[in-house]
A and B are shown apart, each in its own frame.
Chain A
């Protein structure tokens, strides 16, 4: 149980975290999500006592991290962004050191170290120097370190950053396993990462909490925005008439420019209305240039939450702001003239228009495999 109340952290004139309040219950996997520089690491550092807050309180199982740090720290295991490993030690020695420092009784130490090594899959490398281990194994040693002392809550700061896809899948499985017995908080700037493992999401933007919801609820919100987008070489009026004549669909947005009309409709029935739409246009000999399902994803919710926050006060952190400002309202209708499918993935498109203005068509192929690996590369 972690209670964060009115947490504020200032670096000089820069406010990294402002007035953050939330409660982390027991036995779930929580995801702390936000763009780079949103204050995720700062928040985690404060919760774990690595950093002092400017104001506000953090209670860990009823112990104030600032007032009773030693008692509070016994209830949390922390893996910072960069695993804090002593390169000249072996994982076994390192974990023995951590166990002793965490005050694990001598007779329990070797058993607990063995269990943790087994859980994180580092038993085979336990005798090698940490400096000779690969990044994935180092990350595991870092997680193992956090697990020592059987803390109630495990806090992992970007646990899969810089790992290869196989390692990412393994670490995620490990996090899911941990979540069965303990509370786990992970942070990430990749939404797919969070949606793959977490039950509950906290979205932070510019040091402020903009969403605090279960993943299921967020997904329900997101699917409300699904629809089919359509581009037809015809004038607006004709398209409108034809779509009206097709049953079982509901026209949401329409616009036209340069002889091409773009429309978005939702299918109200369970039947796939796309066949009907196709034949309806074919009958009138109006060519459909494009038709695709526009899925409003969690990412859209994420971006709109962050985007709307950026509109609110754009005074701090401008290094990330630019890309979001380009698409302030991601749910807006696609701009008819541009031929962009901008509604679907605003950030992606915003970035694209910077880089490859001539090639817009592959945004459909974008599937967030491995937690949106593409997104990770973008950043």
Chain B
């Protein structure tokens, strides 16, 4: 794992993408700091981070696009498979390399509140709690985009998928409000989600049985619960979709609140998508 981590981390600074990532992040951090803290005389560094999420949304996919896709294109994945290293260690090594690049960025951004402190009183606790939340948000997005990169051998497709996914997550709370909140509407929505899940499973495994079972696991309990007590479904769909709104979790941090549930949420999303990436890479051996 260390070998993979070191190699990957170095590669971000050989092919510029690490510098570009850090540079763009810090550039916008500077612009927002100037606009919010210096020109508007706010002492809250959290607001800077709140705005920085837009940059994060667009630039994380650029950082992650090569992570898994490039190995597939250049066939270096065969080397990784033949090394006495488990797939999980390889994926975690790659993931941690990206996290390290991102951590360097966050550390550099951490200097800003200290500079502001020279000019007046800055709530450092809130600022650094928000920065920590910002770091965790980035980890989740990196994990999600790394998984998307593992699905394709093209960096461009990986980047487009990644930006599409982060954009969808960014707009998720807005999307949730558009959804029907009636019981029947929620039922239909959940059934559609079940069917889509089945289709995705089929696309990945090419196995009708497994796809049907996974769709049924979603659809049958949903239908049964609906028949038993339809009132449970009032407003359920917007609520479920709301759970997927990764960025909204960070809003509490940027308002100066250290939210433990959000912390757990971010870690869960991260671990889940790293796990999926491992599965996705391992699956190629079974194709």
Contact = CB atoms under 8 A, between A and B. Distances in A.
Interface of A: 11-12, 45, 48-52, 69-71, 73-74, 76, 78, 80, 82, 84-89, 97-98, 100-103, 145
Contacts of A85: 74, 76
Contacts of A145: 79
A358 B211 CA distance: 59
Nearest to B77: A84
Given A84-B78, A101-B3, 5 more contacts: A50-B285, A78-B78, A86-B74, A86-B76, A97-B6
Contacts of B285: 49-52
B129 to A, nearest CB: 37
A100 B3 contact: yes
Interface stretch (B39-47, B80-88, B145-153): B80-88
B6 A103 contact: no
Interface stretch (B7-15, B100-108, B221-229): B7-15
Contact of B11 (A12, A70, A88): A88
B25 to A, nearest CB: 23
Contacts of A45: 78
A80 B75 contact: yes
B14 to A, nearest CB: 5
Interface in B48-83: 74-83
B20 to A, nearest CB: 15
B84 A70 contact: yes
A20 B11 CA distance: 41
Across chains A and B, which 6 residue pairs bring their CB atoms closest together, nearest first? Answer: A84-B79, A100-B3, A101-B3, A73-B84, A50-B81, A78-B82
A84 B76 contact: yes
A52 B81 contact: no
Q: Which of A70, A73, A87, A101 has the most CB of B within 10 A?
A: A101
A214 B74 CA distance: 36
Given A86-B7, A100-B2, A50 B78 contact: yes
Contact of B74 (A71, A87, A97, A101): A87
B166 to A, nearest CB: 27
Main secondary structure of the interface of A (DSSP, over half): loop
A101 B4 contact: yes
Contacts of A48: 81-82
Contacts of B287: 11
Given A51-B285, A87-B74, A88-B15, A73 B3 contact: no
B82 A70 contact: no
A33 B278 CA distance: 34
B3 A52 contact: no
Given A100-B3, A101-B3, A70 B74 contact: no
A100 B6 contact: yes
Contact of B83 (A11, A89, A102): A102
A142 to B, nearest CB: 9
Contacts of B3: 97, 100-101
Nearest to B206: A12
Q: Which of B4, B11, B75, B206 has the most CB of A within 10 A?
A: B75
A68 to B, nearest CB: 10
B15 A98 contact: no
Contacts of A12: 206
B286 interface: yes
A88 B77 contact: no
Contacts of A76: 82
Contact of B85 (A52, A71, A86, A101): A101
Interface string B251-281: 0000000000000000000000000000000
A88 B14 contact: yes
B78 A101 contact: no
Contacts of A89: 7, 11, 14
A86 B15 CA distance: 12
B15 A50 contact: no
